[in-house]
């Protein structure tokens, strides 16, 4: 290539456009790659080292320990199954995120079917239903703690006792078994509006003539739901389920604020946090987060595969 | 006689209109409405109760008086056990407003480049930025902490108790979704207007400033509110990076009040109300812009 042609290439419209594009995107790229991608890779490195508070300032010279962090976390914490109320962090995580997500999507489906009917005040009701999702996590978590309080003035225990379901107030958030149930209920309550919104958008796009044709054929409302609505929603339900599953699996705050991760609710994000910022064993913390990531990648592959396949279909 | 027939007809009317389907429909709505609204009512009502009402033998459904004691404790410097909550509100604003402003600015430039300009690696860039949105924050906090400790050793910049560092980490969390929402919006703006402006001799920055931005105002509003909300609500990073009470943001302060050895629920509820109110007002006021962004993942979580 001669010098002139190189100059011409440098000044060509296309090259100028590409340079401008890189200039515009550099700040975002720097922040995202510097503060997300690089740390993510660095985390793998840390998980094979012994990093504590004392050598945190000199982390690049931390001693190599092989798979020691992994075997320790794996055998003693993540997969150590005792019984149904003490399942080990990885299994707790999976149970918690699957059940909570299923409930959130089901509640979202019911809410969206109700709100898809025309009636006065529908818009206001739809906005109100979103409250639990948009409100700050700290405030709603503490209201739940206060409602579930085992004091006689705790609302839920009071109602349970008035209905003669229990005799004594139960410390619902600090009893093994109950705590996990409550955390799951909390998440179903908090995240159903997300599913509701997505399903509602899809419902409004369903071809009305399908229902008219079914009505002519004498289909009952249950049959219309089963044979028309549900097939039309199949794709959006799957996508919401996987997305919520990923997000719930990553959740730290909800459980941390409700139970502190105790009483059988210790999920992988909480375990990661405890290793790193309570015990200051960053190596084990990183190893825990890698176990979390591996499970997450499985979900992500499903998600991407699912979304891609359906985009091609449509 | 007329009154009686009238009454009959009302019952008739209800009996006629109320089918099982309708009954379940309204009952279902009522259950949803109660379970969503009640916790917020309970937060609000509890913030006006006395300690005795909080710890009584049964729940107090309506506080006996609209007492402002809990709010006084949060905001009034002459109150004993004054919490100086105003400072925490200010800290949260100091973090959330710059995060929102920077996220909108940077993502406008980035999203414009992705949508309008041709360059190699563009799809890779967009996809990897989106993928990052599925990443857990708790995974990144360890390496970030170690990395920033290292940077602090080299440069002498304090990384803990530094609100700018917090803003930087929030930017990393909010930029992906901001890029995604804005690039979706930019795609709906026809490119011909910009082409015409370019032919008339505007450069790209003038095009962005004079044509794209004015057209994209709804999207810019919703992106800035979402990023503001993410930063305003964020707990984990603030919890790890802030040690000094002077710099606590609202979520960390509420957590501290709650974990006091003798917690007073009315104060926690008052602080929670103060934190929730701006979000709810903002959302209700700008609902039209916002519900679309919500399904695009505006609030991660």
Closest CB to A114 among B25, B54, B179:
B25
Residue A291 CA, chain-centre distance (Å), reads 16
Contact B251, B233 (CB under 8 A): yes
Report the gap between the CA of A85 and the closest CA in chain B (Å): 24
- B254: closest chain A residue by CA: A138
Contacts of B88 in chain A (CB under 8 A): none
CB contact under 8 Å between B117 and A24, yes or no, is: yes
Report the gap between the CA of A138 and the closest CA in chain B (Å): 6
**Mutation to test the B interface, candidates A142, A224, A237, A303, most B Cβ within 10 Å:** A142
Topology of A48-313 in CATH? MetI-like fold (1.10.3720)
pLDDT at B106: 93
Query: Helix and strand tally (H, E) in chain A?
Result: 16, 0
Contacts of A134 in chain B (CB under 8 A): 229, 279-280, 283, 294, 299
Above pLDDT 90, what percent of chain B? 30
CB contact under 8 Å between A24 and B291, yes or no, is: no
- What's the whole-number mean pLDDT along residues B27-47? 93
Instruction: Give the predicted TM-score (pTM) of the model.
Output: 0.88
Contacts of A194 in chain B (CB under 8 A): 294-295
3-state secondary structure of A266: coil
Of residues A275 and B289, the one with the higher pLDDT is A275
Q: How far is CA B62 from CA A75, A235, B47, B57, in A?
A: 51, 45, 11, 15
Closest CB to A29 among B125, B279, B301:
B125
Q: Euclidean distance between the first and final Cα of chain B, in Å? A: 62
In the structure encoding, which two tokens stand for residue A177, read together?
């078994």
Among A120, A189, A197, A118, residue whose Cα is nearest residue B290: A197
Q: How many beta-carbon contacts under 8 Å exist across A and B? A: 270
- Structural domains for chain B: 2-74 (no CATH), 85-295 (1.10.3720.10)
Whether B69 has a pLDDT exceeding 90, the answer reads no
Contacts of A133 in chain B (CB under 8 A): 294, 299
Q: What whole-number distance in Å separates Cα of residue A305 and Cα of residue B69?
A: 55
pLDDT-derived band of residue B248, with 50, 70 and 90 as boundaries?
very high
CB contact under 8 Å between B147 and A158, yes or no, is: no
In the structure encoding, which two tokens stand for residue B224, read together?
């800035």
pLDDT at B156: 80
- What's the whole-number mean pLDDT along residues B268-275? 94
pLDDT at B1: 43
- A288: closest chain B residue by CA: B139
pLDDT-derived band of residue B299, with 50, 70 and 90 as boundaries?
low
- What's the whole-number mean pLDDT along residues B68-87? 88
Contacts of B175 in chain A (CB under 8 A): 28, 31-32
Contacts of A128 in chain B (CB under 8 A): 33, 36-37
pLDDT-derived band of residue B127, with 50, 70 and 90 as boundaries?
confident
The ranges of chain A with pLDDT < 50 are: none
Whether B132 has a pLDDT exceeding 80, the answer reads no
pLDDT-derived band of residue B235, with 50, 70 and 90 as boundaries?
very high
Which of A159-173, B97-111, B127-141, B188-202 has the highest mean predicted lDDT (pLDDT)? B97-111
Q: What whole-number distance in Å separates Cα of residue A33 and Cα of residue B125?
A: 10
**Mean of the per-residue pLDDT values of chain B:** 84
Q: What whole-number distance in Å separates Cα of residue A131 and Cα of residue A189?
A: 10
Q: How far is CA A308 from CA A101, B45, B242, in A?
A: 21, 48, 41
Strand partners, A64: A49
Among A182, A131, A192, A186, residue whose Cα is nearest residue B44: A131
Q: What whole-number distance in Å separates Cα of residue A7 and Cα of residue B238?
A: 50
**Mean of the per-residue pLDDT values of chain A:** 86
Closest CB to B146 among A24, A46, A126:
A46
In the structure encoding, which two tokens stand for residue B195, read together?
């082409």
- What's the whole-number mean pLDDT along residues B80-93? 91
pLDDT at A13: 72
CB contact under 8 Å between B291 and A130, yes or no, is: yes
Whether B288 has a pLDDT exceeding 80, the answer reads no
User: Mutual orientation of helices A38-47 and A282-313 as an angle, nearest 10°?
Assistant: 130
Stated as kind and residue range, the H or E segment containing A224 is: helix A221-224
């Amino acid at each position: 290539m001669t010098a002139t042609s190189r100059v011409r290439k440098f000044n060509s419209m296309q090259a100028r456009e590409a340079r401008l594009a890189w200039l515009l995107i550099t700040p975002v790229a720097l922040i995202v790659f510097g503060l997300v991608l690089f740390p993510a890779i660095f985390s793998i490195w840390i998980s094979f080292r012994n990093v504590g508070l004392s050598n945190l300032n000199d982390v690049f010279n931390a001693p190599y320990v092989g798979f020691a962090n992994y075997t320790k976390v794996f055998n003693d914490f993540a997969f150590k199954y005792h019984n149904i109320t003490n399942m080990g962090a990885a299994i707790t995580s999976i149970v918690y995120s699957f059940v909570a997500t299923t409930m959130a999507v089901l509640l979202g489906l019911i809410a969206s079917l109700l709100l898809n009917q025309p009636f006065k005040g529908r818009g206001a009701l739809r906005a109100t239903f979103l409250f639990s999702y948009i409100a700050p996590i700290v405030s709603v978590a503490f209201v739940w703690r206060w409602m579930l309080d085992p004091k006689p003035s705790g609302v839920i225990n009071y109602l349970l006792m008035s209905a003669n379901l229990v005799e004594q107030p139960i410390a619902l958030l600090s009893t093994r078994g109950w705590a996990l149930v409550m955390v799951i209920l909390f998440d179903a309550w908090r995240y159903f509006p997300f599913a509701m919104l997505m399903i509602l958008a899809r419902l409004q796009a369903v071809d009305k003539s399908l229902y008219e044709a079914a009505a002519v054929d004498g289909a009952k409302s249950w049959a219309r739901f089963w044979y028309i609505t549900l097939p039309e929603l199949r794709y959006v339900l799957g996508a919401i389920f996987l997305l919520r599953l990923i997000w719930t699996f990553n959740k730290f705050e909800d459980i941390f604020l409700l139970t502190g991760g105790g009483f059988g609710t210790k999920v992988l994000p909480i375990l990661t946090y405890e290793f790193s910022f309570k015990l200051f064993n960053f190596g084990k913390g990183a190893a825990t987060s890698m176990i979390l990531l591996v499970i997450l990648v499985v979900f992500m592959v499903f998600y991407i595969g699912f979304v891609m396949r359906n985009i091609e279909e449509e | 006689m007329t009154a009686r027939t009238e009454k009959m007809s009302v019952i008739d009317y209800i009996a006629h209109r109320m089918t099982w389907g309708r009954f379940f429909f309204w009952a279902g709505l009522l259950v949803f409405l109660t379970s969503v609204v009640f916790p917020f009512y309970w937060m609000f009502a509890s913030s006006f109760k006395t300690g005795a009402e909080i710890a009584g033998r049964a729940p107090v459904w309506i506080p006996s008086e609209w007492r402002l004691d809990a709010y006084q404790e949060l905001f009034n410097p002459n109150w004993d056990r004054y919490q100086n909550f105003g400072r925490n509100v200010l800290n949260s604003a100091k973090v959330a407003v710059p995060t929102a402003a920077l996220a909108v600015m940077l993502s406008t430039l980035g999203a414009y480049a992705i949508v309008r300009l041709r360059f190699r690696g563009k799809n890779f860039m967009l996809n990897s930025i989106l993928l990052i949105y599925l990443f857990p924050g708790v995974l990144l906090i360890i390496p970030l902490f170690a990395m920033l400790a290292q940077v602090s050793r080299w440069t002498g910049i304090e990384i803990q108790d530094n609100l700018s560092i917090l803003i930087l980490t929030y930017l990393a969390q909010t930029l992906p979704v901001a890029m995604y929402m804005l690039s979706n919006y930019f795609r709906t703006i026809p490119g011909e207007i910009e082409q015409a402006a370019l032919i008339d001799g505007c450069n790209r920055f003038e095009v962005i400033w004079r044509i794209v931005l004015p057209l994209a105002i709804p999207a810019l509003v919703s992106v800035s509110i979402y990023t503001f909300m993410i930063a305003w609500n964020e707990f984990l990073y603030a919890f790890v990076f802030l040690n000094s009470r002077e710099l606590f943001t609202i979520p960390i302060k509420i957590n501290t009040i709650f974990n006091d050895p003798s917690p007073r629920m009315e104060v926690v509820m008052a602080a929670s109300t103060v934190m929730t109110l701006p979000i709810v007002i903002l959302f209700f006021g700008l609902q039209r812009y916002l519900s679309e962004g919500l399904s695009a993942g505006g609030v991660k979580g």
